[in-house]
Chain A
Amino acid sequence: EVQLVESGGGLVKPGGSLRLSCAASGFSFSAYTMNWVRQAPGKGLEWVSSITSSSSYIYYADSVKGRFTISRDNAKSSLYLQMNSLRAEDTAVYYCTRDPGYSSSPGAFDIWGQGTMVTVSS
């Protein structure tokens, strides 16, 4: 079964750090661009970051650039998001997603994890 399972969410104080992990199974993880997408409580979806299959290209939304770092370990079929200098507005469910490569342009997320909640509050 194709599956993405996120972990690492929790409650953190403003200015703090957190590292999210995503474990992939059921597909050849190393062949796909992977992404993080977040959703604040009661709000819409927001793309956070993308990383290509061999980590050659990495992109971030302006809202997290300089604070978040995406990485992956293809040997472990795992995706990570290191989040530093966290702010209240980073409070959201964070989803790990797969880009199936329908197009050479970014986008299209065909597999989603169940999400992990990050709460930034004092």
Chain B
Amino acid sequence: SYELTQPPSLSVSPGQTARITCSGDALPKQYAYWYQQKPGQAPVLVIYKDSERPSGIPERFSGSSSGTTVTLTISGVQAEDEADYYCQSADSSDIYVVFGGGTKLTVL
């Protein structure tokens, strides 16, 4: 079955830049989406179609794509950005939705 691979954890200091990667063979053909989930809360969509930002999401969140890897970048990380981040896409059959395993971002 198709998988998206993310690093389990990442630690950054406030004000630094966090880059979370997500790898998958179908990513050159399928859009990627990113979600932020804080403890006890439902996920929130922060990036769609690789690099688009929904209204209400701070400009410090951005997305990019290169080959089989997509990247969520958080510039000028703030304490409130500490959360789990999940990438999501579809497999090459265009039927199945797949989530990455999630990356726990810790703001030191």
**Contact partner, B42, options A46, A103, A106, A112, Cβ 8 Å:** A112
Residues from chain B with Cβ under 8 Å of A105 in the complex: 30-31, 90, 94
How far does the Cβ of A35 sit from chain B's closest Cβ, in whole Å?
7
**Contact partner, B33, options A50, A62, A104, A107, Cβ 8 Å:** A107
Q: A-facing mask of B84-108, CB < 8 A → 1, else 0?
A: 1010111000111111111000000
How far does the Cβ of B61 sit from chain A's closest Cβ, in whole Å?
15
Check: B45 CB closer than 8 A to any chain A CB: yes
Q: Is A108 a contact of B48 with CB atoms below 8 Å?
A: yes
A110 to B1, CA, bound (A): 25
Residues from chain A with Cβ under 8 Å of B67 in the complex: none
Chain B residue with Cβ nearest A93: B42
How far does the Cβ of A89 sit from chain B's closest Cβ, in whole Å?
16
A103 to B29, CA, bound (A): 12
Residues from chain B with Cβ under 8 Å of A62 in the complex: 1
How far does the Cβ of B15 sit from chain A's closest Cβ, in whole Å?
28
**Given A47-B99, A62-B1, are A110 and B49 also a contact pair (CB < 8 Å)?**
no
A103 to B30, CA, bound (A): 9
A107 to B97, CA, bound (A): 6
How far does the Cβ of A117 sit from chain B's closest Cβ, in whole Å?
12
How far does the Cβ of B37 sit from chain A's closest Cβ, in whole Å?
8
Q: Is A112 a contact of B43 with CB atoms below 8 Å?
A: yes
